[in-house]
Chain A
Amino acid sequence: METMYQEYKDIVEFRLIYIREAHSADGERPTQFAKDKGIVQQQTYDQRCTTAKMLFDENKLTIPGLVDSMDNQTNTEYFAHPDRVFLVLKDGTLAVAGAKGPRGFQPAIDDVEKWLIDYRKTLAEPAPENPIDEQPQENPPSPDRSSSIR
């Protein structure tokens, strides 16, 4: 994720949206990591921001971050819980909509990377003579999942 951001941040916007904890220490399915770190479900927006900062700092993430509201509106609208990846085109449509959760995350990352590779190629091409076709291709053919981000 961070590697992809560093490589493509000049041609695409990136945002990591911090949403409610998936496996907090006080939740139904806590992880040992959450217990060790003492990460509980936040009750206030300030607490949510604090945990989000912890996530970014400890993982040395430089990708711009946003924090979901306490009513979880964006999380709900995108049905993003526990984690998910999307690629939004300039017209507002989705070019990549990953499946939910850890199983869907890496395949979606692969899809996004494939799209970005194709998109960068279209930007590098010389502008066509016909001004109608000047818009860069935003929706390349559906990528396969054989590529790897690593």
Chain B
Amino acid sequence: MKRTNQIAWTWLFGVIFGLDGAITYGQDPAGSPPDRPSVRRPGLQRPDRTGFQPRRNAAGGKSGLKVGAMAPEFKLKSLDGETETELATLRSAKPVVLFFGSYT
């Protein structure tokens, strides 16, 4: 009889805590796997600490420019922060290869 009571209590606790766990994870007690939390793709879709958040540009959507599209014009300064260079001026004489990058 003592053994039977022990089994009954164990079963009862199992049901109670099983239900509790199921409620916590928002699923039925039948044991289907919990939904994985949605994984947000890092980086480009949200601003970082400095507030930088790339937006869709006018020409190419979020994936950027394609072959045959017009290259966006720019006017940028050289490393000394003084001399300005325009893409339109560069490409009027020769084709232009552009590398974009940073130190890290």
Q: Is the interface of B mostly helix, strand, loop or mixed?
A: loop
B60 contacts partner chain A, Cβ-Cβ < 8 Å: yes
B15 contacts partner chain A, Cβ-Cβ < 8 Å: no
State the CA gap A75–B97 with chains docked (Å): 15
The interface size of chain A toward B, counting residues with CB under 8 Å, comes to 74
Count of A-B contacts with CB under 8 A? 200
Chain B residues 62-104 with CB under 8 Å of chain A are 62-74, 76-81, 85, 87-88, 90-104
| Contact residues in B for A86 (Cβ distance below 8 Å) | 65, 71, 97-98, 100
Q: Is the interface of A mostly helix, strand, loop or mixed?
A: mixed
**B79, B80, B96, B101: the one within 8 Å of A82 (CB):** B101
Closest chain B residue to A18, Cβ basis: B102
The interface of chain B, by Cβ under 8 A from chain A, is 42-44, 48-50, 52, 54-55, 57, 60, 62-74, 76-81, 85, 87-88, 90-104
The interface of chain A, by Cβ under 8 A from chain B, is 1, 4, 8, 11-24, 26-31, 33-34, 37, 39, 41, 45-46, 49, 51-56, 63-69, 72-90, 92-97, 100, 112, 119, 138, 142
